Amino acid sequence: MINENAAEAEGMEGRGFISGTATKNKVTGALLAKAFLPSPVEVKQCLVYTDLAMKMQMIIFDLSSSLWWSSLGEVLIWFPFSFFVFCVDAERMGFIWMFIPHLVRAAVGILIIKKMPTTHEMVANIKIPE
C-alpha cells in the first residue's frame, strides 16, 4: 500500500499536487516504523511467554486456593466441630484423636502456600533473548 501511494504521489508530482519531499517523507516514515517495531519472531516469542505466564498464574492460583480452603476448613471447621462432638459424647467419638495428622497436614499446606513463589516473581525470572 505504501508503494502504491508513493507511485500515485510520484504521478501527481509534476502536476503540482504534491512535492517530492512529501513522497520521501511517507516512505521514510514507513521505513522508520519498520526499524523500530519488533520483528514477527519477537512478537510471537512475547505472545508465547505471555500465554505461558497466564497459564502458570491460573495453575498456581488454583493450587494455592485449594490448599488454602482445605487447610482452613480442617483447622477452623472440621476439627473444632469434631472436638465439640467429642466433648458431648466421648464414648462414640474416641477415634477423633486418630485425625490429629489432619492438623499437621493443614499446617504443612499453609506453609507451602507461604513458600510458593508468586507469578510475578516467575515472570520476572523469564529471560527473553535479544
State the pLDDT at residue 49. 85
pLDDT, residue 13, reads 47
* DSSP letter string, the chain: -HHHHHHHHHHHHTTTSS-HHHHHHHHHHHHHHHHHSPPHHHHHHHHHHHHHHHHHHHHHHHHHHHHHHHHHIIIIIIHHHHHHHHHH-TTT-GGGGGGHHHHHHHHHHHHHHHHSPPHHHHHHT-----
Instruction: Give me the average pLDDT of each 10-residue run along the chain (130 residues).
Output: 50 50 63 77 89 87 92 87 84 80 90 86 77
